[in-house]
């Protein structure tokens, strides 16, 4: 019988394992940063080129490795964090996956330079596709320099599945934020394509949050602190008035490890009940400390989900801690039992006895007695000299009335037995707006219903793509440049789409502050702030995932921001112009987000209603 089961070659097994560990460049960044933190580094420098597709380099001043460890760290299941299975339930470190560096080396060209404080010279190891190509001595400072080049160079199919540079850079920045927030006592820096995005010195948590998300974040933070035997909660929540529609500023850390938990998120949302605007979510930076043997962090391949032994208690404690902080700092409305000082009895009247009020009456008052002229009001004196309204009818002379009934013409309309004279008149009926949301227009075969917002999005989307494909752009210069207050992540995302914005008519400079000097003619000055805010929110969210390029994501976001909203009134000409523009588009049936723009109700469907 033929043998059907064979052992996979080592390089194939490594590539398969890399599919779990290395999903995108951000996965490599996460593993390298966590290993550097565990190595005792106090200064971590991350260098990125082409959003990690060309180069990911981490320079740290940690403990370093010996020559033997430098080669052994790339072997599968090689780790210094655990020695037996029971150690998984009492972990105090971050990176403990034994196949992390082995999986990275299987799909990239890796160079490692490392030296310990006891060694005079360091060790350099070069690996490409799981094969060690060079091991030599080198001159390097104490610590480790790990360079990952040409990710997925030997698996082109995996490389083709990577997203655009703005999307991959966003994921890298997210991973960088998570590690930097978990360890404010360490210094971090991030360079992307020779430009410095972040430079975070050693600080406390509040300063670290401000350094990442901007100086304005400082005044929006409300501290949270609660110590119990089960869990200790610390960190900050963002004031309700600054809540956003996107879920960006939401961070949970359990024992300094970033996690995602919809269960804990619901606890925080419940604490904000009644304080948030519609369709907004709270922002928070919360740290939970629990015993290591009371959690299981092995339930998810990326270790971003945790199972608690007593999750109901954690939920209740977290909700109570957040609600207590909101009330303590006068953010949440509370019952005020203090007296209003304006209603208090004056001090000098506190011992006074009440007196019965007296009513003064004039016994000589006679309402029918005529008042002297001097005591009359101006209105009464004026009325004396005015004729009464009856004089309008009694003082009319009949001889003055001259009316010729034959000269009077009355308007009349001929009654027809039909609402329309002809089919031509029926086809020329104007459109009408329904509920401030739809445009209705009769057609030869029935009734056309157009969703005005989606239709306008389709029109604007194709117009923006057309303009980005051409060289000329109509723009209007601003009398006073508009300064945008952006954090480093938002600045980096905006730079990635700056070329497409230039084709649309935006002119901006990226110096100390991002400033707009010109805007497209189709955009009003008061709309610019909302347009840029929505664009950054879309780039930070999942909208670019559905796009083919940065320009496509930009066109979609601009179309969504500038399209007419539901409830906006449109006159007859605007309605007809909108319908004509929609059916002049290449794909008029759907919006840029794949939703239908119009429906046709046939005559048969209408007849069936009756």
Rounded to whole angstroms, the Cα distance separating 572 from 564 reads 15
Q: What is the mean pLDDT of residues 475-502?
A: 76
- Cα–Cα nearest to 251, from 291, 217, 295, 228: 217
Residue-wise pLDDT for 185-203, tens only, equals 999 999 988 888 889 999 9
Q: Is the separation of the CB atoms in 287 and 257 below 8 Å?
A: no
DSSP code string of 141-209 = -SEEEEEEESTTTT-HHHHHT---HHHHHHHHHHHHHHHHHH-TTSEEEEEETTEEEEEE-S--HHHHH
Q: What is the mean pLDDT of residues 26-44?
A: 89
Number of separate helices (H) and strands (E) present in the chain: 19, 22
Residue-wise pLDDT for 358-387, tens only, equals 777 778 777 777 666 555 555 555 555 555
Q: Is the separation of the CB atoms in 125 and 134 below 8 Å?
A: yes
Collect contacts of 68-72 with beta carbons under 8 A, ≥24 apart: 70/112, 70/114, 70/123, 70/125, 70/135, 71/125, 71/132, 71/135
Q: How confident is the model at residue 546 (pLDDT cuts 50, 70, 90)?
A: very low
- Cα–Cα nearest to 163, from 57, 23, 30: 23
DSSP code string of 493-526 = HHHHTHHHHHHHT-EEEESSSEEEEEEETTS-GG
Q: The tokens of 451 are what? A: 């969703």
Q: Can you give the pLDDT at residue 379?
A: 55
Q: Is the separation of the CB atoms in 79 and 97 below 8 Å?
A: yes
467 has a pLDDT exceeding 90: no
Rounded to whole angstroms, the Cα distance separating 610 from 605 reads 9
Residue-wise pLDDT for 313-341, tens only, equals 888 999 999 988 888 876 655 555 555 55
Q: In terms of DSSP H, where are the helices of 401-521?
A: 423-427, 452-468, 488-496, 498-504
Q: The tokens of 551 are what? A: 């320009």
Least confident of 133-142, 151-160, 345-354: 345-354
Q: Can you give the pLDDT at residue 48?
A: 93
Rounded to whole angstroms, the Cα distance separating 312 from 480 reads 55
Pick 131 or 354 by higher pLDDT.
131
Pick 606 or 323 by higher pLDDT.
323
Rounded to whole angstroms, the Cα distance separating 457 from 560 reads 6
Give Cα separations from 254 to 235, 294, 309 (angstroms): 12, 11, 14
Least confident of 14-23, 453-462, 498-507: 14-23
Rounded to whole angstroms, the Cα distance separating 406 from 421 reads 33
Q: What is the mean pLDDT of residues 170-184?
A: 90
Rounded to whole angstroms, the Cα distance separating 549 from 590 reads 19
Q: Can you give the pLDDT at residue 57?
A: 93
Q: Can you give the pLDDT at residue 425?
A: 45
Q: The tokens of 349 are what? A: 């009247």
| Burial profile 196-224: b = 16 or more Cβ within 10 angstroms, e = fewer | ebbebeeeebbebbbbbbbeebeebbbeb
Q: What is the mean pLDDT of residues 28-41?
A: 89
Q: Can you give the pLDDT at residue 577?
A: 81
Q: How confident is the model at residue 7 (pLDDT cuts 50, 70, 90)?
A: low
Residue-wise pLDDT for 406-425, tens only, equals 665 655 555 444 434 444 44
Pick 370 or 179 by higher pLDDT.
179
Q: Can you give the pLDDT at residue 399?
A: 58
- The DSSP element (H or E) to which 95 belongs, if any, is none
Q: Is the separation of the CB atoms in 448 and 600 below 8 Å?
A: yes
- Kindly calculate the radius of gyration of the chain based on its CA atoms and give it in whole angstroms: 37
Residue-wise pLDDT for 510-530, tens only, equals 776 777 778 777 777 777 777
Rounded to whole angstroms, the Cα distance separating 244 from 281 reads 6
Kindly give, in sequence order, each residue whose CB lies less than 8 Å from that of residue 330, ignoring residues fewer than 6 positions away.
none
65 has a pLDDT exceeding 60: yes
Rounded to whole angstroms, the Cα distance separating 488 from 523 reads 26
Rounded to whole angstroms, the Cα distance separating 188 from 207 reads 13
Instruction: Please provide residue 479's backbone torsions phi and psi, each rounded to the nearest 5 degrees.
Output: -65, -40
First and final CA of the chain: distance in angstroms? 74
Q: What does pLDDT average to over the chain?
A: 77
Pick 392 or 43 by higher pLDDT.
43
Q: What is the mean pLDDT of residues 574-581?
A: 81
Q: What is the mean pLDDT of residues 526-544?
A: 70
Q: In terms of DSSP H, where are the helices of 505-601?
A: 528-540, 550-562, 572-582
Q: Can you give the pLDDT at residue 420?
A: 42
Rounded to whole angstroms, the Cα distance separating 410 from 59 reads 95
Q: The tokens of 371 are what? A: 């008042």
Least confident of 38-42, 148-152, 355-359, 448-452: 355-359
- Cα–Cα nearest to 523, from 539, 507, 512: 507
Residue-wise pLDDT for 108-134, tens only, equals 899 999 999 888 899 999 988 878 888
Rounded to whole angstroms, the Cα distance separating 416 from 293 reads 88
Rounded to whole angstroms, the Cα distance separating 458 from 581 reads 9
Give Cα separations from 231 to 226, 318, 323 (angstroms): 8, 9, 16
Sign of CA dihedral 521, 522, 527, 531: negative
- Cα–Cα nearest to 65, from 135, 143, 133, 140: 143
DSSP code string of 326-389 = HHHTT-S-----PPPGGGSPPGGGSSPPP--------TT--TTSPPPGGGS-HHHHHHHTSPPT
Q: Can you give the pLDDT at residue 179?
A: 92
All domains in the chain, ordered by first residue: 10-200 (3.30.565.10), 215-328 (3.30.230.10), 433-600 (3.30.1370.100)
20 has a pLDDT exceeding 50: yes
- Cα–Cα nearest to 446, from 467, 420, 474, 426: 426
pTM: 0.66
Rounded to whole angstroms, the Cα distance separating 140 from 119 reads 11
For 447, the 3-state DSSP assignment is strand
Q: Is the separation of the CB atoms in 190 and 33 below 8 Å?
A: no
Q: What is the mean pLDDT of residues 291-309?
A: 70
The neighbouring-strand residues paired with 44 are: 60, 188
DSSP code string of 232-269 = EEEEEEE-GGG-BSSS-SEEEEETTEEE--HHHHHHHH
Q: How confident is the model at residue 398 (pLDDT cuts 50, 70, 90)?
A: low
Q: The tokens of 299 are what? A: 């339930």
The neighbouring-strand residues paired with 126 are: 111, 134
Q: The tokens of 590 are what? A: 């759907």
């Amino acid at each position: 019988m033929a043998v059907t089961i064979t052992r996979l070659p080592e390089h194939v097994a490594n590539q398969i394992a890399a599919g779990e560990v290395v999903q995108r460049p951000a996965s490599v960044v996460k593993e390298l940063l966590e290993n550097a933190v565990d190595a005792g580094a106090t200064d971590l420098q991350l260098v990125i080129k082409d959003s990690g597709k060309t180069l990911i380099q981490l320079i740290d001043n940690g403990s370093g490795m010996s020559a033997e460890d430098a080669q052994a760290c790339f072997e599968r299941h090689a780790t210094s964090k655990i020695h037996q299975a029971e150690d998984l339930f009492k972990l105090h470190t971050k990176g403990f996956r034994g196949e992390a560096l082995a999986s990275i080396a299987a799909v990239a060209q890796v160079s490692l330079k490392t030296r310990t404080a006891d060694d005079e010279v360091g060790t350099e190891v070069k690996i490409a596709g799981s094969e060690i190509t060079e091991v030599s001595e080198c001159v390097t400072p104490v610590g480790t320099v790990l360079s990952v080049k040409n990710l997925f160079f030997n698996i082109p199919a995996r490389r083709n599945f990577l997203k655009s540079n703005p999307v991959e850079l966003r994921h890298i920045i997210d991973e960088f934020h998570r590690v930097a927030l978990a360890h404010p006592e360490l210094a971090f820096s991030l360079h992307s394509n020779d430009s410095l995005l972040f430079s975070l010195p050693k600080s406390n948590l509040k300063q670290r949050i401000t350094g990442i998300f901007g100086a304005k974040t400082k005044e929006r933070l409300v501290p949270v602190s609660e110590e119990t035997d089960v869990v200790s909660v610390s960190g900050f929540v963002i004031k309700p008035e600054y809540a956003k529609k996107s879920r960006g500023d939401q961070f949970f850390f359990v024992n300094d490890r970033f996690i995602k938990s919809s269960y804990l998120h619901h606890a925080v949302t419940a604490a904000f009940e009644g304080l948030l605007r519609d369709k907004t979510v709270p922002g928070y930076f919360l740290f939970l400390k629990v015993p290591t043997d009371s959690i299981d962090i092995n339930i998810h391949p990326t270790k971003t989900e945790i199972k608690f032994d007593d999750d109901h208690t954690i939920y209740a404690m977290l909700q109570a801690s957040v609600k207590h902080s909101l009330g303590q700092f006068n953010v949440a409305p509370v019952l005020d039992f203090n007296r209003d000082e304006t209603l208090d009895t004056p001090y000098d009247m506190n011992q006074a006895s009440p007196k019965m009020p007296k009513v003064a009456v004039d016994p000589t008052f006679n309402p029918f007695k005529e008042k002297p002229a001097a005591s009359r009001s101006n209105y009464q004196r004026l009325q004396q000299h005015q004729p009464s309204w009856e004089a309008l009818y009694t003082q009319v002379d009949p001889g003055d009335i001259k009316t010729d009934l034959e000269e009077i013409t009355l308007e009349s309309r001929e009654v027809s037995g039909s609402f329309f004279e002809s089919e031509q008149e029926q086809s020329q009926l104007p459109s009408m707006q329904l509920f401030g949301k739809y445009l209705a227009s009769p057609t030869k075969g029935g009734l056309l219903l157009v969703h005005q917002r989606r239709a306008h999005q389709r029109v604007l989307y194709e117009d923006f793509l057309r303009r980005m494909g051409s060289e000329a752009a109509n723009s209007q210069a601003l009398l006073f440049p508009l300064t945008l207050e952006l954090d480093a992540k938002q600045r980096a995302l905006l730079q990635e789409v700056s070329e497409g914005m230039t084709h649309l008519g935006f002119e901006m400079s990226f110096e100390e502050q991002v400033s707009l000097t010109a805007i497209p003619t189709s955009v009003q000055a008061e709309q610019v702030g909302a347009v840029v805010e929505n664009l950054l929110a879309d780039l930070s969210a999942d909208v670019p995932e559905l796009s083919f390029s940065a320009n496509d994501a930009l066109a979609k976001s601009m179309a969504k921001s500038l399209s007419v909203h539901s409830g906006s009134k449109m006159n007859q000409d605007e309605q007809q112009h909108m319908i004509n523009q929609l059916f002049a588009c290449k794909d008029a049936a759907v919006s840029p987000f794949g939703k239908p723009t119009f429906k046709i109700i046939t005559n048969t469907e209408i007849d069936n209603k009756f």
